[in-house]
Amino acid sequence: MHQCPTCQAELVAERLRCSACGLQYGGTFALPRLARLIPEHQDLAERILLAAGNLKEVAAALEVSYPTLRKRVDALITALGALREADAAEVRRLLEAVESGRLRAEEAARLIRELSGGS
């Protein structure tokens, strides 16, 4: 889940906990792009990867025509492109905050890594 079920705004992760030892981290954590896709796009991306990019195989598994699948893939590509653009704008905002002294460089670097899926 990446959107509020009430108002559809983006949910923000603020606490992480280790399932083994219980250690907890608090703060604001950016979710990677793929985690911010709607569930249908996440499922489609996973199916494409597991089929090694074979769209005909994915279409058959979903029991849809190739043109229908192609439209879904195009929608996924559009959604992912929009997230990349939003992330680029967020990186610019973070860098401006560092430059103006409102944010520490280490914190900005961590958030930028998280946006791109890094740790």
Domain ranges, residue 24:
13-113
CATH of the domain at 43: 1.10.10
Residues 58, 54, 66, 74, CA torsion sign:
positive
pLDDT at 58: 97
pLDDT digits (tens, 9 = 90+) for 37-78: 999 999 999 999 999 999 999 999 999 999 999 999 999 999
Give dist(CA 27, CA 42) in Å, integer: 26
pTM for this prediction: 0.74
Asked whether residue 4 is domain-assigned, the answer is no
pLDDT at 1: 65
User: With 60 as the cut, is the pLDDT of residue 83 above it?
Assistant: yes
Question: How many domains does the chain divide into?
Answer: 1
Asked whether residue 1 is domain-assigned, the answer is no
